[in-house]
């Protein structure tokens, strides 16, 4: 029963539709009806601006971190479950949020939060890689996929050196999620029509 409860909690945390709530509460805007219609940080930046985009990014990152850290709560003391399973469940919550008709974001920020909670040195590496790549490409979608690939390569090297199979499986799953969720972006990138950011 405790495992079921902690899994439900991880899913509900991931399901918090940060972009939708911030848009409606402070901007009286449903971003599902504007821009790309995606409930993520990128569309929030595009529709609501830098401040809202930054807030949503932080909230989405913290969702993943909070899910991974759930076993630290006294209520869940002694629950035998790998923290990365909770991270994956939170990511699924972000992609299919119960609080937003199961139409969520692309899971980049929440995936980053899972990495932050489990392996913060990798998070720092990916954080730096993200902004360097974004500076060069000007495309958030392409940058997200490149950084996910960097994480996958890191996890393979880390697996060889330390035997941390759980991290490799996590990154492989998140990499698959991220690439799949960006399939329309891939088409636009190939066609040369993918929007580019102007703030970096």
Whole domain around residue 161: which residue ranges?
A: 2-191
| Mean pLDDT (whole number) for 160-180 | 94
When the pLDDT of each residue in the chain is averaged and rounded to a whole number, the result is 94
pLDDT at residue 150 is higher than 70: yes
Helix boundaries (H) for the chain: 2-15, 18-27, 41-48, 50-68, 83-95, 108-118, 120-137, 140-162, 165-181, 183-191
Q: Write out pLDDT tens, residues 14-58.
A: 999 999 999 999 999 999 999 888 898 889 998 999 999 999 999
Residue at 197 is within a domain:
no
User: Within a 13 Å sphere around the CA of 7, how many CA atoms are in the beta-carbon half?
Assistant: 11
- Overall number of domains in the chain: 1
pLDDT cut 90: percent of the chain above it: 87
Asked whether the beta carbons of 61 and 79 are under 8 A apart, the reply is no
Distances 81 to 6, 76, 92, 175, 200 between C-alpha atoms, Å: 9, 10, 17, 22, 41
pLDDT at residue 158 is higher than 70: yes
pLDDT at residue 1 is higher than 70: no
Residue at 199 is within a domain:
no
pLDDT at residue 164 is higher than 90: yes
Residue at 120 is within a domain:
yes
Q: Write out pLDDT tens, residues 102-117.
A: 999 998 999 999 999 9
Residue at 145 is within a domain:
yes
| Mean pLDDT (whole number) for 173-177 | 94
Cα–Cα distance for residue pair 168/173, rounded to 1 Å? 9
Residue at 185 is within a domain:
yes
Residue at 196 is within a domain:
no
pLDDT at residue 63 is higher than 80: yes
């Amino acid at each position: 029963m405790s495992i079921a409860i902690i899994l439900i909690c991880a899913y509900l945390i991931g399901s918090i539709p940060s972009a939708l709530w911030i848009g409606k509460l402070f901007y009286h805007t449903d971003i599902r009806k504007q821009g790309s219609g995606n409930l993520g940080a990128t569309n929030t930046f595009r529709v609501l601006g830098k401040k809202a985009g930054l807030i949503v990014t932080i909230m989405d990152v913290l969702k993943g971190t909070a899910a991974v850290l759930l076993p630290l709560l006294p209520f869940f003391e002694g629950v035998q479950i790998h923290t990365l399973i909770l991270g994956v469940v939170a990511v699924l919550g972000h992609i299919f949020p119960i609080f937003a008709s199961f139409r969520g974001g692309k899971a980049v920020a929440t995936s980053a939060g899972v990495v932050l909670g489990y392996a913060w040195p990798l998070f720092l590496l990916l954080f730096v890689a993200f902004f360097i790549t974004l500076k060069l490409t000007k495309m958030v979608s392409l940058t997200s996929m490149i950084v996910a690939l960097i994480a996958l390569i890191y996890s393979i090297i880390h697996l060889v050196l330390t035997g941390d199979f759980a991290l490799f499986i996590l990154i492989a799953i998140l990499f698959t999620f991220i690439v799949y969720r960006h399939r329309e972006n891939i088409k636009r990138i190939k066609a040369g029509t993918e929007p580019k950011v102007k703030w970096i």
